[in-house]
Amino acid sequence: MPLTLTREPSGAAILTIAAPPLNLYSLDLHREFEEALDDLAVRPPRALLIRAEGTVVSGGVDVSLFDSQTSAADGKILFDRMLELPLRVAALDYPVVFAAHALCLTWAFELALACDLIVASERARFGLVEKVVGLTPTMGGTQRLAARAGIGRAKELVMTGDLYDAATLERWGVVNRVHPADELDDAVTDLVTTLAAGPTRAHAATKAVLRAVERGGVAAADDEITAIAAALYDTEDMRAAIRSFLEDGPGKATYVGR
């Protein structure tokens, strides 16, 4: 199977891409992602890690898929379907971390940009190289790059089709953390475990506030923040954490995700 979903005792889930040799995007891989996301919708974890196995995260899209579309109408149908994947990931109401250990091209980079955090090995390189087939990125990468790094950087990365190392993209605000290659797995595991142990509903509220920013800027978030935050009074975690703080001091609360 090119995709596996596992669940950890911590409450985290792990989606692993394993479609050797290059982890190329295909409709079969897309269907497996849909099935995994359906499973996650039925039994939501408290955090999700998306990672890949092999010498690369992904070499891109199986170009024969583009070749098989014979018209703009066919292309629109294909691109609409491809876009569904990052949209579903971006809509998840718990922390989502993408781990990049090596070369990460096109669809995989676009999927990473739909996640909350990108953690990379110092060996990782990233690129939106669709220009080599006369295409522009179709899975949200351009606009999500612009949101993270600015329109000028998004234009540069897409129009040049160059590869960028993890340190550069960390400096630009695209990648969140960079680790030595031999420390990446442990660092990502620690991060995801910590996120899964946190106040899951509060994390969902944070994501809701930032979606408001994406829709309408700071003013839109200002309009929604108080209602979003006030709803947390109905959660078990907030009430227990307040009691814990008052009785035992800060940092002692245990969260259950409700």
Query: What does the pLDDT look like over 83-112, one tens digit per residue?
Result: 999 999 999 999 999 999 999 999 999 999
89 found inside a domain: yes
- Mean pLDDT for 50-77 is 94
Residue 131 sits in the same domain as residue 225: no
Residue 151 has pLDDT above 90, yes or no: yes
Q: Pairing state of beta strands 104-105 and 12-17?
A: unpaired
What is the C-alpha to C-alpha distance for residues 158 and 150, in angstroms, rounded to an integer?
12
The pLDDT, as a whole number, for residue 80 is 95
Q: Rounded distance, CA 86 to CA 108, Å?
A: 10
Q: Give the pLDDT of residue 251.
A: 85
Task: Give the structural domain span for 214.
Answer: 200-248
Residue 256 within any structural domain of the chain: no
- 117 and 237 fall within a common domain: no
Whether residue 67 is found in the same domain as residue 184: yes
pLDDT-based confidence at 119, cuts 50/70/90? Answer: very high
Residue 1 has pLDDT above 80, yes or no: no
Establish if 254 belongs to a structural domain: no
Same domain, 190 and 213: no
Q: Are residues 169 and 79 in the same domain?
A: yes
Beta strands in the chain (DSSP E): 3-7, 12-17, 47-52, 96-100, 104-105, 117-121, 125-127, 164-165, 177-179
* Residue 253 belongs to a domain: no
Q: Same domain for 216 and 188?
A: no
Q: What is the pLDDT of residues 176-203, one digit of tens each?
A: 999 999 999 999 999 999 999 999 999 9
Regarding whether 205 and 184 lie in a shared domain, the answer is no
Q: How far apart are alpha carbons 8 and 196 in whole angstroms?
A: 10
Report yes or no on 25 lying in a domain. Answer: yes
Whether residues 63 and 102 share a domain: the answer is yes
Residues 171 and 211 in one domain: no
CATH number (domain holding residue 112) = 3.90.226.10
Predicted confidence (pLDDT) per residue in 23-48, tens digit: 999 999 999 999 999 999 999 999 99
